Structures are given as C-alpha cells and as structure tokens.
Amino acid sequence: MIREFKEGHIRTEKHNGVTTIEFFHPRSNSLPAELLEALTHQIHGAGNDEETKVIILRSAGEKAFCAGASFDELLAIGNEEQGLQFFSGFAHLINAMRKCPRFIIARVHGKCVGGGVGIAAAADYAIAAEGADIKLSELAMGIGPFVVGPAVERKLGLAAFSHLSIDSSMWRNVDWARKRGLYAELHSSIELMDESIRRLADSLAHANPEAMRLMKEAFWKGTDHWDRLLIERAAISGRLVLSEFSNTAIRKFKGK
C-alpha cells in the first residue's frame, strides 16, 4: 500500500510477518505535518495487526535518513496553538513507536538531523550503514530539542544527549553514535546493513509475539508519563519558534 502526498509518500508492505514502513520527502526526507501524521497512523496500525510480528522503519533515497522538521512549515507557524500542533506531530510519532507492541527496527542509511535522531532513538533496534552521522540542530534554530529529547536521552544517556544539544552545529559521526548506543549495529555498506536487517527481522518474525510484547513493555518501563511530557515539550518548542531569532535562523538554514 502506498499513500501519495503532494510531496512525498508513505509506503507499507507486509511479508511473512514483517511489515516495512517507508517514508519519503524530496527535501532530504524531512517530515511535514501530513507525513508525520500518516507515519504515526501506519505504525499504530501495524502494531495492532495480528499478522505483523515485527516492523522495519526506513526512508527512501540514498542520502539522508531524515532531515527532521519541514522548514517551510516551521516558518508558516503564526501562533502558539499552531506551534503546539506542529511539534505535537513528532510527539505523537515517538509515543506511537514507544507504545507499539511490536519491535521496531530502524534502517538508517544516511544522515539524521533533529527529529530524525529522535526516530532512530525511539526505535527498539537501529541498524546503520557508514554515513549515518547525526546532529541535533534545534538550538541553532532557536528552538532546542525538547520533543525528541526524552527519547534521545533514554537511548544515549544524559551526557551524550547534552553534548549533542549544546554543540548543535557539530556532526557526530556514525561510530560516535554506535558507541553511545543509538545504533545497535554499524555496517560498512548498504548491502551488509540490509542483509543484517533481513536476518533479524526473519528471526523476530518467528519469535513468541507475547514474549516480545512483554519485553518491550519492560524496556520502556518508566515512560508512561511521556503522553503528557512530550506534548508539554511541544508547547515549549511551539512558543520558541515564534521568536525573531528562530525565524531568522530557520531562514538561514533553509537557504543553505
């Protein structure tokens, strides 16, 4: 099944217990609101599908895995309510991944920025290839990584999260991310990464679904308050993005 948008798509395929969800946007796989909503919906649906045993989350193309928020939509935010609504899209996606009763394997084939790092962190098992460097650029845009922060901190730890957040213009290479736990595996080529993903997905597709569900609940213990927390964080970002500082900074980023 494929859902086409004015720009981009969400493609979902199911085969032998493995549901693959792919997102695409021509601007480095950024995520405007309609793509965020559709992606969240597909993850929720796959998680409640009895025939789905494991989910692979990937993006299309050969370069960036995900560039995070849409600059055009950030610049179009005119009040706090609109800001809350936009950033809540990332909150809903992360919470959908957190509460999904199936393990989610993230296939990270290229650079991750902002919300892309949050998606990789919210996955239960991320497998990357060389070039999957990461950056949290939110502070440089006057916002701060408030919504994705809990997921990134949970996976990498407070020290690594704070380093990424404070030096928001610096890329951290893929090996840095692997050593700090964002990536469970790092492969030297796309082919080797995909081979490992197929192996793991097939193994999980034949594992006990109830055991995996209970394992995931245990792994995510202590995050029940995220339904409220991430929306509160979205409201903070929604206020900050209205500042003249943010508007100027985002326009500079868009022009690069």
Give tens-digit pLDDT for 47-96: 999 999 999 999 999 889 999 999 999 999 999 999 999 999 999 999 99
Provide the pLDDT confidence category of residue 27 given band limits of 50, 70 and 90.
Answer: very high
Which tens digit of pLDDT belongs to each residue from 96-151? 999 999 999 999 999 999 999 999 999 999 999 999 999 999 999 999 999 999 99
Q: Tell me what pLDDT residue 256 has.
A: 66
How far is 241 from 247, CA to CA, in rounded Å?
A: 7
Q: Which two tokens stand for residue 143?
A: 């916002």
- Look at the domain 2-191+225-254 and name its fold: 2-enoyl-CoA Hydratase; Chain A, domain 1 (3.90.226)
Judge if pTM exceeds 0.85: yes
d(CA 114, CA 254): 14
Q: Kindly report, residue by residue over 202-222, the tens digit of the pLDDT.
A: 999 999 999 999 999 999 999
Retrieve residue 238's tokens.
Answer: 């929604």
Residue 255 has pLDDT above 80, yes or no: no
Q: Give the model's pLDDT for residue 152.
A: 98
**Alpha carbon distance 234, 239 (integer Å):** 9
Residue-range domain boundaries for the chain: 2-191+225-254
Task: Give the up-direction half-sphere exposure of residue 110: CA atoms within 13 A in the CB hemisphere.
Answer: 15
> Residues 139-193: pLDDT tens digits?
999 999 999 999 999 999 999 999 999 999 999 999 999 999 999 999 999 999 9
Cα distance between residue 255 and residue 238, in whole Å? 22
